[in-house]
């Protein structure tokens, strides 16, 4: 079955380290998104992509970057992890302009 998967599911890292979270989808969706979920803030958009080589900043993009070299993957990189980036991260994908989005299982990241 087509799906969207995130890895790792849990990660603990130290302040200042570079961290990359993976997101892979097999639906051939052109749209991919990264959100973070924090208590009291719901889900907020970090970065998104509408296709290969396209990336855009979302509401809370500082300290994060993404790249889209193929349709299936949108890795999220924390350049220098900070304790404020401790959160649960969700990846999502959708096809087209008016289409349902589907979410991965989430990655719980702890920065110590």
Partner 1 sequence: GIQVEQSPPDLILQEGANSTLRCNFSDSVNNLQWFHQNPWGQLINLFYIPSGTKQNGRLSATTVATERYSLLYISSSQTTDSGVYFCAVGGGAQKLVFGQGTRLTINP
**Any idea what the Cα angle at residue 77 is, between residues 15 and 66, rounded to 5°?**
155
Dihedral sign, Cα of residue 27, residue 33, residue 38, residue 44: negative
Q: Rule CB under 8 A: is residue 94 a binding residue for partner 1?
A: yes
Binding range to partner 1, per CB under 8 A, among 13-21, 66-74, 76-84, 85-93:
85-93
In whole angstroms, how large is the CA radius of gyration of the chain?
Answer: 13
Which residues between 2 and 61 bind partner 1 (CB under 8 A)?
A: 31, 33, 35, 40-45, 48, 50, 58
Dihedral sign, Cα of residue 112, residue 110, residue 72, residue 64: negative
Q: Rule CB under 8 A: is residue 64 a binding residue for partner 1?
A: no
Q: What is the dihedral of CA 6, 8, 13, 16, to 10 degrees?
A: -40
Q: Rule CB under 8 A: is residue 89 a binding residue for partner 1?
A: no
**Which CB atom, from 21 or from 92, has the smaller least distance to partner 1?**
92
**Which CB atom, from 7 or from 15, has the smaller least distance to partner 1?**
7
Q: Which residues bind partner 1 (CB under 8 A)?
A: 31, 33, 35, 40-45, 48, 50, 58, 88, 90, 92, 94, 96-103, 105-106, 108
């Amino acid at each position: 079955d087509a799906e969207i998967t995130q890895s790792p599911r849990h990660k603990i890292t130290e302040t200042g380290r570079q961290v990359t979270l993976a997101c892979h989808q097999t639906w051939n969706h052109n749209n991919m998104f990264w959100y973070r979920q924090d208590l009291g803030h719901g889900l907020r958009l970090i970065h998104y992509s509408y296709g290969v080589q396209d990336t855009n900043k979302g509401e809370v993009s500082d300290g994060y970057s993404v790249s889209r070299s193929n349709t299936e993957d949108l890795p999220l990189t924390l350049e220098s992890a900070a304790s404020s980036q401790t959160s649960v991260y969700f990846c999502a994908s959708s096809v087209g302009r008016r289409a349902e989005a589907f979410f991965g299982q989430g990655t719980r990241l702890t920065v110590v």
